[in-house]
Amino acid sequence: MLTVAPDIEVLARFGRALADPLRCRVLLALRDAPRYPADLAEALDVSRTRLSNHLACLRDCGLVVAVPDGRRTRYELADDRLGHALDDLRSAVVAVETDRTCADADAKGCCRP
């Protein structure tokens, strides 16, 4: 049974999904159109095994769904509004210090992949 998660949990799940660059790439690819895993792995130039692990994470986070399609399974965003949210996040202005790298920030406990 599906339930609606509380606001904080929704944000935490979204953050967890976005914490990995490959998961970000998967979400952006699915924003454009539903995809089959083999096609998605090829488009993102990753192994099917690696992609499968990330798709499982995205399913667990509630951001993508697996849709049976005959003998295959197609993946798509769980809600069309996620595509708009991804677009909004990409266009948001983020202030960063240009002389610091993510590795420098990671030493202080932020910017972890």
pTM of the model: 0.76
- CATH code at position 57: 1.10.10.10
Res 103: pLDDT: 56
Contact between 23 and 57 under an 8 Å Cβ cutoff? The reply is: yes
Res 79: pLDDT: 92
Q: How many domains, the chain?
A: 1
Closest CA to 51 of 77, 72, 27, 79: 27
**Residue 29 maps to a domain:** yes
The per-residue pLDDT for range 13-72, each reduced to its tens digit, is 888 888 999 999 999 999 999 999 999 999 999 999 999 999 999 999 889 999 999 999
**Residue 34 maps to a domain:** yes
Per the structure, the complete domain to which residue 60 belongs is given by 7-106
Q: Write b or e for each residue in 67-98: b if 16 or more Cβ atoms lie within 10 A of its Cβ, otherwise e.
A: eeeeeeebbbbbeeebbebbeeeeeeeeeeee
